Amino acid sequence: MKARFWLVLALLYAVLLGIFCLAFLILASSLEPAQQLLLTEMLGSRIQILMVLALLLLLGLGAGLKALQAHYVRPLELLSEDVVIMLSTNPEHRAASRGAAEVRVLAGKINTLATTFQELQRDVQAKIAQANRALLEEKNRLAALMSELAQSVLVCNIEGRILLYNTHATELLEAHDATGTTIGLGRSIFGVIERDLIVHALEQIQHQRQQGADPSARPVSEFVATLANGQLVRAHMAPVLDGSNALDGFVLTLEDITRNVAAESQRDALLQSLTQDTRATLANIRAALETMQQFPDMSSQKRSQFTAIIDDESQRLARQIDQTEQGQADYHGEGWQLEQMRGVDLIALLQRRIETPDLRIDSSNTIDPALWLKVDSYALTQALAYLAQRLATQCNVSTLHLDLQRTERLAHLDLAWRGAPVAAETLRLWESTPLQMGAANPLLTLNAVITGQGGEAVYLFDLARQTSCYRLLLPLAAARAALDIRIKKSARPEFYDFNLFQQSGQTAELDQQLLSQLSYTVFDTETTGLQPAAGDEIISLGALHIVNGRLLSHENLDQLILPGRKLSAESIAIHGISDAMLIGQPPIEKVLPQFHRFAQDTILVAHNAAFDMRFLQMLEARTGISFTQPVLDTLLLSQVIHPHQELHSLEAIANRLGVDIVGRHTALGDAIVTAEVLLKMLPLLAEKGIFTLKEARDAAQLTPYARIHY
């Protein structure tokens, strides 16, 4: 402090002396030589007085600087330290009244503000404590409810991490697990249940939701899993949806069916034993009859002996049948591995699983939507995918046609293709080769899968048309209604432990909502060109959600779109999407409804949103879909926050705000960057007094770029 004081004093003294010397030089230069000589003599004779004056100037400057430091600088430094202590360490600390009157007034105002802040902090702490008590009560009620459930229950997020489980689930999944695998909050369910089974079930649910007539009804899926120790469990999956009706997780209820399967194996062994014994008995009877027929003149004694053999074998056969019937009566199992599903869902699932760049799949459009099957869809799709792969690699099949039709008691599932017939030996080899489907069924064959469905397979060849057909005869099932759990936004229970399950909390007074409390859908498009009115179209759409100030990267939409026109060289140079990449992609008429559901009940956000919104508006007449929710534009918000900056491109804004630019000029990549930019902008808008949606929209409308139209 002392060194700084003397340094500042020396600088001020030097500046003042310099000013006096400069003034003297200017004055001297304006005099005649004789006058200059006279002035020099006068100053030389009074040099002692000048030195005294210089010393007095130094003392005056020192006293003034000392007073300034004592009354303003030092008190302000101490005041800043007091403020830091009040805000970070000790809220009860208060600033001392020091220095000049202005500084003392400022200290008093800060103390008043600190008192108000402390009272607010106490209120917040009290509300937090009250919320924690309510949360604890809710958790205790939830824990009690879960513990009373007779079934094993797990709740997982969309990434497969366990968010909730009960005691029965722990006992089922851990009690007999020889591998030491444990379940717990945050752990992955894939460590216990095979990942492909869960992904398969989620695909079924997602497809049923997309195809369902009632979007508020929740579909369910069932599958059978084998645990590490060989236990078999039947899993019942129901989806968990977020506030925008997007799939956010799933609930699994598990049932141990190991005993049921053992009983079924026992029944199979019983039937096999009956078959073998029956064959031996019938062989003995047949041999006796053939002998009697070959020797009609045999003696009565010999005839009596053969008749006795036939009688003994007949009685033995009757006893075997009675024993089998008794064993069958003790068996109460059912088709544990089978599930009910719509035929159209099975065909769609097969198409998604089998189709590859080298093998195109088309399906019939005459499939009855009311046709239901009872099948193991996971095993069946894997088995038919294996068959399709054999056809593609060994028979050069490039196109498969799928069809499903109802007969009186069965359904015909046909895989048809053109080309030479498949040899019977080759087909038998394919049907008997292990599929290697995973830990659950390491040696399952195509023939075993078909038999396990309660069905049969027939190979047909049409010589005139040169077409082959592999037909599966599958059992029909009664239609199953989807699990109807309606979404009640106002009454839905809040799981405070699960951030992914929290509701957005929006109300009808959307404009008055705080920006930090809104839910956003940040999106971006890539297009064939820059002129929507001239016929350019969207070729890629990417979007993701922001909820409660958090970027939910796993809740995203990323879809290429088949346009009705060729891409220009200029647009390909920007986004790198070629015409070949868009072959086989869905048209905008299929993608836009999906995006509309994805963005439901959220605020739309884009960079240069006028451009993207113009493309969406041009599609309203064609698709009947309109986006009526409010829109925020990060381009306009950047002008609000930094009105003196010249550049407001997405790259420039990201660089200013410290956002890493990854995946630019892809729809989803740009949407991610835009979302991160928006999160950085929210506190900057608050610093400018912009807190609500209406304030942000009003401020954006006053910017120059808001007058640009496309």
Shared-domain flag, residues 231 and 311: no
Q: What is the pLDDT of residue 401?
A: 93
DSSP 169: H
- The secondary structure of 228-287 as a DSSP string is TTS-EEEEEEEEEE-TTS-EEEEEEEEEE-HHHHHHHHHHHHHHHHHHHHHHHHHHHHHH
Shared-domain flag, residues 195 and 223: yes
Alpha helices in 399-477 (DSSP H): 424-432, 446-452
In the chain, the amino acid numbered 441 is N
Better-scored residue on pLDDT, 201 or 490: 201
Q: What is the pLDDT of residue 470?
A: 94
Q: What is the pLDDT of residue 327?
A: 54
Per-residue confidence band for 605, with pLDDT thresholds at 50, 70 and 90: very high
Q: Alpha carbon 136 to chain centroid distance?
A: 29
Contact of 601 with 504, CB cutoff 8 Å: yes
Specify the CATH number for the domain of residue 440.
3.30.565.10
Count CA atoms within 13 Å of residue 486 on its CB side. 4
pLDDT at 598 over 60: yes
pLDDT, mean of residues 588-601: 91
pLDDT at 90 over 80: no
Domain end point (choices 237, 257, 277)? 257
Per-residue confidence band for 504, with pLDDT thresholds at 50, 70 and 90: very low
Q: Mean pLDDT lowest for which of 36-40, 111-115, 307-311, 431-435?
A: 36-40
pLDDT at 474 over 70: yes
The pLDDT > 90 percentage for the chain reads 12
pLDDT at 485 over 70: no
CA distance 8 to 709: 58
Count CA atoms within 13 Å of residue 598 on its CB side. 22
pLDDT, mean of residues 145-167: 76
Q: Mean pLDDT lowest for which of 178-192, 378-392, 569-583?
A: 178-192
**Cβ neighbours for 60, distance < 8 A, ≥ 6 positions apart:** none
Specify the CATH number for the domain of residue 559.
3.30.420.10
pLDDT, mean of residues 519-528: 91
Q: What is the pLDDT of residue 8?
A: 72
In a domain, 27, yes or no: no
Specify the CATH number for the domain of residue 246.
3.30.450.20
pLDDT at 398 over 80: yes
Q: What's the order of all strands across the beta sheet hosting 162-165?
A: 162-165, 152-157, 247-256, 232-241, 221-226
> How many domains in the chain?
4
Domain end point (choices 211, 239, 257)? 257
pLDDT at 287 over 80: no
Shared-domain flag, residues 163 and 287: no
Residue among 93, 401, 412, 665 flagged as catalytic: 665
In a domain, 470, yes or no: yes
Shared-domain flag, residues 157 and 286: no
Contact of 541 with 557, CB cutoff 8 Å: yes
CA distance 407 to 432: 28
In a domain, 63, yes or no: no
In a domain, 21, yes or no: no
Domain residues for 214? 149-257
In a domain, 45, yes or no: no
The pLDDT > 70 percentage for the chain reads 79
Contact of 404 with 364, CB cutoff 8 Å: yes
Contact of 31 with 43, CB cutoff 8 Å: no
How many other CB atoms sit within 10 Å of the CB of residue 394?
A: 11
Per-residue confidence band for 438, with pLDDT thresholds at 50, 70 and 90: very low
pLDDT, mean of residues 122-149: 77
Better-scored residue on pLDDT, 386 or 41: 386
Q: What is the pLDDT of residue 412?
A: 92
Q: Mean pLDDT lowest for which of 111-125, 300-314, 405-419?
A: 300-314
Strands (DSSP E) contained in 598-649 are 603-606, 631-633
In the chain, the amino acid numbered 573 is A
Tell me: the pLDDT tens digits for 195-238? 667 877 888 788 777 776 555 556 888 877 777 666 778 888 98
SS3 139: helix
Tell me: the pLDDT tens digits for 655-683? 888 887 655 667 887 888 899 999 999 99
CA distance 413 to 400: 13
Shared-domain flag, residues 458 and 359: yes
Shared-domain flag, residues 558 and 624: yes
Per-residue confidence band for 469, with pLDDT thresholds at 50, 70 and 90: very high
Domain end point (choices 216, 237, 257)? 257
CA distance 234 to 532: 52
List the Cα angle 555/581/600 in 5-degree steps: 25
Better-scored residue on pLDDT, 380 or 84: 380
CA distance 89 to 118: 12
In a domain, 415, yes or no: yes
Size of the chain, expressed as the number of residues it contains:
710
Highest mean pLDDT among 67-76, 505-514, 643-652: 643-652
pLDDT, mean of residues 385-394: 90
Per-residue confidence band for 487, with pLDDT thresholds at 50, 70 and 90: very low
CA-derived radius of gyration, the chain:
42
**Cβ neighbours for 499, distance < 8 A, ≥ 6 positions apart:** 548, 550
Better-scored residue on pLDDT, 459 or 260: 459
Q: What is the pLDDT of residue 593?
A: 93
In a domain, 112, yes or no: no
Q: What is the pLDDT of residue 345?
A: 75
In a domain, 608, yes or no: yes
Tell me: the pLDDT tens digits for 92-106? 878 888 888 888 888
How many other CB atoms sit within 10 Å of the CB of residue 260?
A: 17
Q: How far is CA 697 from CA 511, 633, 694, in A?
A: 9, 9, 5
Shared-domain flag, residues 268 and 238: no
Q: Is 709 a catalytic residue?
A: no
Shared-domain flag, residues 348 and 383: yes
Q: Sign of torsion, CA 485 489 495 500?
A: positive
Contact of 520 with 544, CB cutoff 8 Å: no
Per-residue confidence band for 695, with pLDDT thresholds at 50, 70 and 90: very high
Shared-domain flag, residues 537 and 553: yes
Q: What is the pLDDT of residue 65?
A: 72
Shared-domain flag, residues 456 and 538: no
SS3 598: helix
In the chain, the amino acid numbered 53 is L
Q: What is the pLDDT of residue 491?
A: 29
How many other CB atoms sit within 10 Å of the CB of residue 457?
A: 20
pLDDT at 441 over 60: no
Shared-domain flag, residues 515 and 647: yes
Nearest CA-CA partner of 696 in 607, 616, 631:
631
pLDDT at 126 over 70: yes
Contact of 182 with 170, CB cutoff 8 Å: no
Per-residue confidence band for 467, with pLDDT thresholds at 50, 70 and 90: very high
Per-residue confidence band for 500, with pLDDT thresholds at 50, 70 and 90: very low
**Cβ neighbours for 328, distance < 8 A, ≥ 6 positions apart:** 267, 270
Structure tokens of 622? 């064609």
Highest mean pLDDT among 52-61, 391-400, 482-491, 507-516: 391-400
Better-scored residue on pLDDT, 563 or 17: 563
Structure tokens of 585? 């992609």
Q: Mean pLDDT lowest for which of 111-125, 181-195, 342-356, 441-455?
A: 181-195
Better-scored residue on pLDDT, 532 or 686: 686
CA distance 633 to 199: 36
Structure tokens of 72? 């303003």
pLDDT at 493 over 70: no
Q: What is the pLDDT of residue 417?
A: 94
Q: What is the pLDDT of residue 331?
A: 42
Per-residue confidence band for 567, with pLDDT thresholds at 50, 70 and 90: confident
SS3 488: coil
Q: What is the pLDDT of residue 690?
A: 92
Q: Assign residue 649 a region: left if phi > 0, alpha if psi is -120 to 50, beta otherwise?
A: beta
In the chain, the amino acid numbered 535 is G
How much is the mean pLDDT over the chain? 77
pLDDT, mean of residues 132-155: 74
Q: How far is CA 688 from CA 637, 682, 696, 699, 704, in A?
A: 11, 10, 10, 10, 18
Contact of 359 with 397, CB cutoff 8 Å: yes
Shared-domain flag, residues 452 and 306: no
Q: Sign of torsion, CA 42 47 52 53?
A: positive
Q: What is the pLDDT of residue 387?
A: 92
Count Cβ atoms within 10 A of the Cβ of residue 107 and give its class: 0-12 exposed, 13-18 middle, 19 or more buried. buried
DSSP 530: S
Better-scored residue on pLDDT, 639 or 208: 639
Q: What is the pLDDT of residue 664?
A: 60
Q: What is the pLDDT of residue 662?
A: 54
Q: What are phi and psi of 450, to 5 degrees?
A: -65, -40
pLDDT at 604 over 90: yes
